[in-house]
Amino acid sequence: MDEHPAVPILDISEYHDPATKDRFVEALRNACHHVGFLYLTGHGVDHRLNTAVTDVSRDFFAKPASVKREIAMVNSPHFRGYTPVGGEMTGGRADVREEIDLGPERPASHDTDRPWRRLQGPNQWPTSVPDFEPIMTRWAQDMDRLGRTLLDALAEGLEIDSDHFRNWVTPDPEATIKAIRYPAPVEGQKPQGVGTHRDFGLLTFVLQDAVGGLQVERADGDYIDVPHLPGSFVVNLGEMLQVATHGYYKATVHRVVSPPVGVERFSTIYFFNPRLDATLNPVDLPEHLATGARGGASDDPNNPILDTYGDNILKVRLRAHPDVAELHHADLLHTTTR
């Protein structure tokens, strides 16, 4: 296991080699227990595909505002589509970025008994960039494979049956993609790229450019940079995995600072999340690991981590996108706590 500014670098191709598999599993367990962030290389996702993902994102964000607003998220009760700069909130403050959110293509649900079913529905694809849909769809398929492999390795690291985690994403995870542009600040501005937060699902894969800005909180409260490492994804764990492992696996606080003056930044994120109806039954850790479990519950009384993924993600979405919440889900606003 190599080191890169306190964030481990792991080569997942070692997991597929019987001679190195155990070493990889142990290194992964240690990284997810102590740091909660890592660089993943040897992942098998074609570099040309990753480049195409970034290229179509750049093409979309270069379009006039009027074109981008054609697929505005506020039109979608499923929280899909384009959000302009300042349209998403983290920690009660507006993030200075624009983005497009994508999810599994499904028919819209009108289940009133389980409000999180409202998250199911179709995407809004940008017809102004014809290659956007096929490239993002192909990328999602490759990232799904990678997410399932890494989830199996995480289960092995805890010495539990891999089905314990697989059941949360079978048959289909609620995986989402977020393509992001951070605009170039002007002199004197110190905007919030993305405020401090933990991710809320299982696994997050970040494809970032060379500009930098992602920062991770250390145990002492200071932040360290997670710079671009060519050929890698940055991977971090979400709250649901922390809860299910009693805090043995760590969902680490992180943020994104805006790029330098005159420079814009692009990233594309793949969130490998459980099914909406999945209730994450806690893991029975072996005794020698259980002694290192910190407890997975949230330390913020205003931000409880809910057991069912649909409840957890709906809570997050309602707070992050108040315009969508007010227009489409006003009846739910009094029930959310995040």
Q: Is 217 left (phi over 0), alpha (psi -120 to 50) or beta?
A: beta
Is residue 214 pLDDT above 60, yes or no?
A: yes
As given in the structure block, the two tokens for residue 322 are 């108040």
Residue 328 has what pLDDT?
A: 94
Which residues 6+ apart lie within 8 Å of 267 measured at CB?
Answer: 180, 182, 206, 207, 208, 209, 214
* Residue, of 4 and 215, whose pLDDT is higher: 215
CA–CA distance, 20 with 153 (Å, rounded to integer): 13
The band of 333, judged by pLDDT with boundaries at 50, 70 and 90, is confident
Lowest mean pLDDT among 4-13, 66-75, 221-230, 314-323: 4-13
The band of 14, judged by pLDDT with boundaries at 50, 70 and 90, is very high
| pLDDT per position as a tens digit, 97-109 | 999 999 999 999 7
SS3 of the chain: the string is CEEECCEEEEEHHHHHCCCCHHHHHHHHHHHHHHCCEEEEECCCCCHHHHHHHHHHHHHHHCCCHHHHHHHEHHHCCCCCEEECCCCCEECCEECCCEEEEECCECCCCCCCCCHHHHHCECCCCCCCCCCHHHHHHHHHHHHHHHHHHHHHHHHHHCCCCCHHHHCCCCCCCCCEEEEEEECCCCCCCCCEEEEEECCCCCEEEEEECCCCCEEEECCCCCEEECCCCCCCEEEEECHHHHHHCCCCCCCCCEEEECCCCCCCEEEEEEEECCCCCCECCCCCCCHHHHCCCCCCCCCCCCCCCCCEHHHHHHHHHHHHCHHHHHHHCHHHHHHCCC
Report the domain count for the chain: 1
Q: Are 227 and 5 in contact (CB under 8 A)?
A: yes
Residue 300 has what pLDDT?
A: 56
Lowest mean pLDDT among 165-174, 269-278, 290-299, 301-310: 301-310
Lowest mean pLDDT among 3-7, 30-34, 95-99, 115-119: 3-7
Average pLDDT, integer, range 206-212: 96
Closest-CA residue to 283 (of 161, 109, 105): 161
The band of 192, judged by pLDDT with boundaries at 50, 70 and 90, is confident
The band of 5, judged by pLDDT with boundaries at 50, 70 and 90, is very low
Is residue 329 pLDDT above 90, yes or no?
A: yes
Q: Is 262 left (phi over 0), alpha (psi -120 to 50) or beta?
A: left
Domain harbouring 320, CATH code: 2.60.120.330
Residue 236 has what pLDDT?
A: 98
Average pLDDT, integer, range 323-331: 94
The band of 2, judged by pLDDT with boundaries at 50, 70 and 90, is very low
- Per the structure, the complete domain to which residue 192 belongs is given by 2-335
Q: Are 8 and 1 in contact (CB under 8 A)?
A: yes
Is residue 1 pLDDT above 70, yes or no?
A: no
CA–CA distance, 170 with 189 (Å, rounded to integer): 45
Residue 301 has what pLDDT?
A: 54
Average pLDDT, integer, range 2-31: 90
Is residue 136 pLDDT above 60, yes or no?
A: yes
Query: Which residues pair with residue 338 across a beta bridge?
Result: none
The band of 298, judged by pLDDT with boundaries at 50, 70 and 90, is low
CA–CA distance, 103 with 77 (Å, rounded to integer): 13
The band of 305, judged by pLDDT with boundaries at 50, 70 and 90, is low
Q: Are 71 and 79 in contact (CB under 8 A)?
A: no
